[in-house]
Amino acid sequence: MPFIDSHAHLAGDGFAADRTDVLARLRAAGGEGVVCIGESLAAAAGARALADTAPGFVWWTAGVHPHDAAGYDPTTDGPAVRAAMADGAVAVGECGLDYHYDHAPRPLQRRAFADQLAIARDTGRPVVVHTRDAEEDTRAMVEEAGVAGIRGVLHCYTGSHGLAEAALAAGWSVSFSGIVTFKKWDDLALLRLVPDDRLLVESDSPFLAPVPNRGKRNEPAWCAYTVHRLAEVRGVAPAVLGRQLVANTRSFFRLS
């Protein structure tokens, strides 16, 4: 079954021993590639190095996660993210707002997010957005971004229907992770709310392994379980949905 993992963190130490095997298992599962997320400038460098080993199969992004927003310096980090876009990064991010953990003061989270949205606007790249318990501010910033012509994805989405609808109305996409396979996940209407052409799937590796591998280190190949669950809930054949997800991911990130 074809799919592309639109969001994985493969640059970290957790994959140091078996990155090549992880990519091989992704291919064996039908995966047509993976977008390796640079959630910091250091992670982006690692993601870029991995992408260089597998052109046309691994792509990379660069940004600063909301958890690290307190350390975001628009005068140095901003130019570094811009430079990454010139060097072949396919998206800005992940960036966004996380008021659940509040690892950085909220005004600094908004400042770092706004700066990265401006980079997406200026470079014409899409933006990968993390949002948790920050619905109102995310909605306002996504709506403003949509008006400015910025395209984005709400990744690992588990929020309200209202925020999803606002993002879709702004022209954005929504990505679901292995969370939707968990027994306690019951918002099936959310999984049906996203139109066919705005739907992405992701592993968010190494986190959030889908059932039946819940609790283990996650890896991109296991997106297949999430695709099966989405297909079941949406009432389509997994292979048909998978083909659509490949097309959506290629189009969203303009993958080559």
Instruction: Give the per-residue contact string, 42-81, with Zn ion (x = CB under 5 A; - = no).
Output: ----------------------------------------
Question: Closest separation between CB of residue 67 and Zn ion, Å?
Answer: 9
CA dihedral 91, 57, 7, 116 (to 10 degrees): -10
* Interface segment toward Zn ion; rule CB under 5 A; list 48-56, 93-101, 138-146, 244-252: 93-101
* CB closer to Zn ion out of 100 and 122: 100
Question: Closest separation between CB of residue 204 and Zn ion, Å?
Answer: 5
* Interface segment toward Zn ion; rule CB under 5 A; list 52-60, 66-74, 75-83, 92-100: 92-100
Query: Can you read off the two tokens belonging to residue 151?
Result: 């395209």
Distance CA 200, CA 197 (A): 9
Residue choice 48, 110, 125, 130 for contact with Zn ion (CB under 5 A): 130
CA angle 173, 39, 193 (to 5 degrees): 20
Scan for tokens 């080993």, then name that residue.
53
* CB closer to Zn ion out of 32 and 94: 94
* Interface segment toward Zn ion; rule CB under 5 A; list 45-53, 94-102, 145-153, 158-166: 94-102
Q: Which residues bind Zn ion (CB under 5 A)?
A: 94, 130
